[in-house]
Structure 1
Amino acid sequence: MTHAVIIPLFNKAAYIAQTLQSLLRQHKLPEELIIVDDASTDHGLSITREFLHHHTTKFGACRIQIIELPENKGPGHARNVGFAASSSTLISFLDADDEYHPRLLEMAAEAFSRHELDFMVLNITFMPGREIYPDLDPLKQYIEPIAPDLYLIQDPLRAVSSPHFIMGVGSNVITRRKWINGHYYSAEAQLNEGIDFWYRVLKGIVNKVPGKIALQTGAYLYVNEVPGSLSRKNYTHFKQVELPPVISRYINSNDKHDRLLMGMIGERWYKHALQNLTSNHQKMCFVWYHRWFLKPYLGYLLLKMNFKS
């Protein structure tokens, strides 16, 4: 089963070599490695070229492509370009500051083949603190063990709207390429754009097949908590806080799963803004400016309560 790893690269000179090294350590090398440089302004691209030049033979038959974009259009656009250049059966997007456990690609190929999976979510180990997410205890009602550290997700659209679930954060999804066809990252979005993209892919699978959706635990993905990342960004003006695409996409949806996801992401978005805005005045402005969100948020809380009862 062939596997393409697509890396969007933008100003990750401090991390890209160790990310590539994590691929070189794989027990099963990827059949395709596609690196899309999003007009980096640091030395990340030259470090990438030098690393690949010195280790070309170690990648064996892996087909390696480097795509240089003429202007920066964000990680979503870079991933779209990388996917269009791929041809493998399995697809994963690996951020240029994340790392794979040496057995990840081997494990994924075996799990997809043996259990006929369509979609796999990986748990995440955040570095350097080694916190592991998600905690399985709040998710017990949604998961059924089928192998060591591998669980089938029951009612996946409901599961991914749980605040305890993590999907589309970092590089924690692997799927068959046929399910991505026709879906694109929102190129202009950089806040929770991965959640928006993978939810649409997942919804397409569930509505058509319904398919086998799995959660793979066992710490196969390491996500570095990078200073200056969007999750840690400070804002001096409330309008700098981007509206997540999940909210704008599903604010008027009548689908209960869309509304649950929209509410859960909206709650995170509000907390993110109030934690990261640098003045109380700007926090007050944010709350007033987005007062329109109060009504759909209350609807989300009521819907969540009905699901629990």
Structure 2
Amino acid sequence: MESATAHPDVQTICVVIAAKNAADTIATAVRSALHEALVSEVVVVDDGSSDDTAGAARSVDDGSGRLQIISLEKNQGPSAARNRAIAASSAPLIAILDADDFFFPGRFEPMLALGDWDMLADNIAFISDPAAALPPEKFESRARTISLIEFVEGNISERGKPRGETGFLKPIIRRSFLDAHRLRYDEGLRLGEDYDLYLRALAKGARYKVIEHCGYGAVVRADSLSSRHRTHDLKTLYEADEAILSDPLLPTQARAVITRHRDHIRERYEHRAFLDTKSNSGIVAAASYMFGRPQFLPYVAQAILLDKMEARRGGPVPVATPHAMRYLLAGVPAAADPAAVQK
């Protein structure tokens, strides 16, 4: 494999992997990152794991000197782990890879053929078994721009439906843009930390592009960290929106859509807070809590009713997806190779 260091005009990439108790999956993630010629650094931050995550990552070191493993004694959360990796690296481009996901071979070349961007994402394939994953379909590398409004709308979910697609994108980010605007992950967030960073970048004028080419494999797991968030995590997330809304220079349309997202997260928080209060202190205390927030009472009442209906059906209705692979973006198949057609 020819290294990007042989071409000094090509910007190289640091792949950041924050990992906690990921010994079963981290090797696949690290191996896929080291396979990419444009990757000059892979920084794994073992965030206070109780298993041998660091050892599993080290077991697939290819000897190129690109792999760095940082072990934190105590868990500090994904934001702090990613900031630590960014600080320990120097490549001009930063790519985030979740510890249970992987890159398909050749992810970055079609992406870096494009210019005029500060964040650049590609298509994602959702799969349940990475060991059985086939090569992704070849799509045209057509690019489009994602606005702040489209990005935020893609992070507003609705019960029984998939979250808006833009919430899952995994962009490459220019380090120079982050440094120029003093942007890093908010270490108070353990939920929605990517959303918050990308939103703050967009609010600073980041140019965000996405292409249909698929290079990221996202493993769908019922026990993912995002599916086990705490009530407090929802509170810190809507407060992060409020911090952005405090900017008096925020355009009107941006303010409106961020307000919608904040209210959406606040409603979810109030539902969870009601249930926590009921569990810890009883129904009287929970009712008192809720009547002190009458504006959220209709949402909480509806959410409780839907919960009961789902329980009677045996749980939430699963969203139908293909068994093998589902693509985040509907891409246009790439034109066939003329030489292959002639054969």
Quote the offset at 1:126 in angstroms. 2.4
Quote the offset at 1:123 in angstroms. 3.4
Q: From the superposition, tell whether residues 240 and 160 of structure 1 become closer, same or farther in structure 2 (CA, over 3 Å).
A: closer
The answer as to 2:267 corresponding to 1:270 is yes
The answer as to 2:74 corresponding to 1:71 is yes
Quote the offset at 1:194 in angstroms. 1.0
Give distance in 1, aligned partners of 2:186 and 2:214: 29
Q: Which range moved further: 247-256 or 271-280?
A: 271-280
RMSD between superposed Cα atoms in Å: 3.6
Which of 25, 28, 31 is residue 21 of structure 1 equivalent to? 31
For 1:220-259, what per-residue CA distance to the aligned partner results, in whole angstroms no more than 9, with x for missing partners? 2122223432432276xx5575431433424555533144
The answer as to 2:268 corresponding to 1:260 is no
Quote the offset at 1:288 in angstroms. 2.5
Q: Which range moved further: 115-124 or 97-106?
A: 115-124
Give distance in 2, aligned partners of 1:107 and 1:12: 29
Q: Is the 8 A contact 1:246 1:262 kept in 2?
A: no
Quote the offset at 1:63 in angstroms. 2.6
Secondary structure (helix, strand or coil) at the match of 2:204 reads helix
**TM-score when normalising by structure 1:** 0.71
1:30 aligned residue? 39
Q: Is the 8 A contact 1:234 1:276 kept in 2?
A: no
The answer as to 2:153 corresponding to 1:153 is no
Q: From the superposition, tell whether residues 161 and 290 of structure 1 become closer, same or farther in structure 2 (CA, over 3 Å).
A: farther
Give distance in 1, aligned partners of 2:31 and 2:196: 29
Give distance in 2, aligned partners of 1:162 and 1:128: 26
For 1:48-81, what per-residue CA distance to the aligned partner results, in whole angstroms no more than 9, with x for missing partners? 12221xx32xxx4x53221122321101001111
Quote the offset at 1:108 in angstroms. 2.4
Secondary structure (helix, strand or coil) at the match of 2:49 reads coil
Give distance in 1, aligned partners of 2:292 and 2:82: 30
One-letter code of the match for 1:11? Answer: N
One-letter code of the match for 1:246? Answer: A
Q: How many residues align?
A: 261
Q: Is the 8 A contact 1:251 1:259 kept in 2?
A: no
Q: From the superposition, tell whether residues 88 and 239 of structure 1 become closer, same or farther in structure 2 (CA, over 3 Å).
A: closer
Quote the offset at 1:177 in angstroms. 0.8
One-letter code of the match for 2:171? Answer: V
2:95 aligned residue? 92
Which of 176, 184, 206 is residue 178 of structure 1 equivalent to? 176
Give distance in 2, aligned partners of 1:219 and 1:231: 23
Give distance in 2, aligned partners of 1:290 and 1:100: 48
Q: From the superposition, tell whether residues 231 and 37 of structure 1 become closer, same or farther in structure 2 (CA, over 3 Å).
A: closer
The answer as to 2:120 corresponding to 1:120 is yes
Q: Which range moved further: 281-290 or 254-263?
A: 281-290
Q: From the superposition, tell whether residues 88 and 287 of structure 1 become closer, same or farther in structure 2 (CA, over 3 Å).
A: farther
Higher-Rg structure is 2
Give distance in 2, aligned partners of 1:201 and 1:64: 28
Q: Is the 8 A contact 1:92 1:175 kept in 2?
A: yes
Secondary structure (helix, strand or coil) at the match of 2:152 reads coil
One-letter code of the match for 1:232? Answer: S
The answer as to 2:53 corresponding to 1:5 is no
One-letter code of the match for 1:243? Answer: T
Give distance in 2, aligned partners of 1:88 and 1:160: 26
One-letter code of the match for 2:148? Answer: L
1:41 aligned residue? 50
Q: Is the 8 A contact 2:127 2:219 kept in 1?
A: yes
Secondary structure (helix, strand or coil) at the match of 2:125 reads strand
Q: Is the 8 A contact 2:191 2:233 kept in 1?
A: no
Q: From the superposition, tell whether residues 104 and 258 of structure 1 become closer, same or farther in structure 2 (CA, over 3 Å).
A: farther
**TM-score when normalising by structure 2:** 0.64
Q: Is the 8 A contact 1:22 1:102 kept in 2?
A: yes
The answer as to 2:210 corresponding to 1:215 is yes
1:247 aligned residue? 241
1:195 aligned residue? 195
Give distance in 2, aligned partners of 1:105 and 1:265: 34
One-letter code of the match for 1:161? Answer: V
Q: Is the 8 A contact 2:123 2:214 kept in 1?
A: yes
Q: Is the 8 A contact 1:167 1:195 kept in 2?
A: no
Q: From the superposition, tell whether residues 239 and 22 of structure 1 become closer, same or farther in structure 2 (CA, over 3 Å).
A: closer
The answer as to 2:101 corresponding to 1:108 is no
Unaligned ranges ≥5, structure 2: 1-10, 131-138, 155-162, 300-343
Quote the offset at 1:151 in angstroms. 2.2
